[in-house]
Structure 1
Amino acid sequence: MQFKHVDNQQKGVFFLNDDQSNRIAEISYVWSGEHKIIADHTWVDNSLRGQGIARQLLDTLVDFAREKKLKIVPTCSYVDVMFRREKSYADVIA
């Protein structure tokens, strides 16, 4: 699954739209300095729940952080839980 990405150097979002261009899933972040982003929100439409979309969004954000050599501050409850649960994210946790 390919997510779209928008980033204006203050905040950004990875997202998925349906065929009518309605947003149906997203994970957003806010820049906090040059080397840190705050993961502040994850949302998946009820029609997609239970399909691993939130995890795919998080993995996309983590890949972005690794590519850009960023650390992630998890203020979103989903991201916080996943960072505690999944040791493979340890290298990007701020």
Structure 2
Amino acid sequence: MHIVDHDTANKRFLIRDNDGIAALMTYVISNPELYIIDHTLVENAYRGQGLGDKLVKAMVEYARENGIKILPLCPFAKGRFERLPEYADVLHK
């Protein structure tokens, strides 16, 4: 099972493996109510396992819990927001 960690000090959500990081998504805090997803990376060995989706979902859940809107500039995250209407409540318009 892949567990998503929120590394607030480095402004990223990540999934670790035994040797390091399997996937990560970084963000920038524009203001306390707006976070910008700027990069998502899944290491080649972990592609196709849904890790990127888990990272986006974790950020959406964090945003809901903390009254934050998300601006997904990263193409991967932007695509998930476009395909998943259930994320519309945290999408910055």
The question of a shared fold, defined as TM-score above 0.5 by the shorter chain, is answered with yes
Deviations 1:53-85 (A, max 9, x none): 110111001001111110001110011111111
> Which structure 2 segments of 5+ residues have no match?
none
Q: Superposition RMSD on alpha carbons, in Å?
A: 1.1
Superposition deviation, residue 13 in structure 1: 0.5
SS in 1 for 2:31: coil
Letter in 1 for 2:78: D
Superposition deviation, residue 6 in structure 1: 1.3
TM-score (norm 1): 0.90
TM-score (norm 2): 0.91
1:58 is aligned, of 56, 59, 68, to: 56
- Runs of 4+ with deviation above 6 angstroms: none
SS in 1 for 2:11: strand
Letter in 2 for 1:28: T
SS in 2 for 1:50: coil
How many corresponding residue pairs? Answer: 91
The answer to whether 1:19 aligns with 2:18 is yes
Q: How many angstroms apart in 2 are the aligned matches of 1:24 and 1:51?
A: 11
Q: Which residue of 1 aligns with 2:67?
A: 69
Q: Percent identity?
A: 35
Letter in 1 for 2:63: A
Q: How many angstroms apart in 2 are the aligned matches of 1:18 and 1:26?
A: 11
